[in-house]
Amino acid sequence: MVLGVPTAYILTRYNFPLKQIVDALMDIPIVIPHTVVGIMVILAFADYGLGPYLNSLGLKIIDAIPGAIIAVSYLSATYALRSIQSALRLLDPELENVARTLGASPLRSFLYVVLPNISGAIADGALLSWARSVSESGALLVVAYYVILGTRSIYPASIYIYQSYIGVGLADAVKFSAALVLIVISIFLAYRALLGHVRAKGAKG
């Protein structure tokens, strides 16, 4: 979301050379195989990429949480970006222009005019991105099949379920799948309930 909000704003409000190409590149995570994304991360951060430099700083990417975050963030960014762009297109630019004529700086008008009006889209984009990240497996199989934390090996949920199915059997995989589905549904319901409460409070105000 830190990268998605300003990127969506720039793509929606400004024209610049090669804008159509940049905008099209934002949809690449949807159309390419996710294992390819994992390979891209490996190429960028393995021993023949930025890996040696990052390792010298004590930052491990491959088979580590940072690598998993990079992979799923890239794959889920499109969902947040498009959600925010849709809200920005519906927001009249004149609201920002009025704020500017009243003495507000571009940053202040963005923070106090734009963000409050697209906060719902930002929340929706964050939830969709998170949900997409939870379901990812292809890129994680390449980048971070498991992560070592201390003396323990931690597996991403989707990979652990697949590993359970291959190694133990269907019954074990079903158990963990049901647990994951319940967790995701509970979070979605909690979000919808919170959103309804906030909207009801705003309507009363």
Q: How far apart are CA 189 and CA 192, in angstroms?
A: 5
Closest by Cα among 23, 22, 47, 35 to 71: 35
pLDDT score for 202: 61
Tens digits of residue pLDDT in 136-190: 888 888 888 777 766 677 777 888 888 888 887 888 888 888 988 898 889 888 8
The string of pLDDT tens digits covering residues 33-65 is 888 888 888 888 876 667 777 777 777 788 888
Indicate the CATH number for domain 4-153.
1.10.3720.10
Q: Where in the chain is the domain with CATH 1.10.3720.10?
A: 4-153
Task: Report pLDDT for 204.
Answer: 63
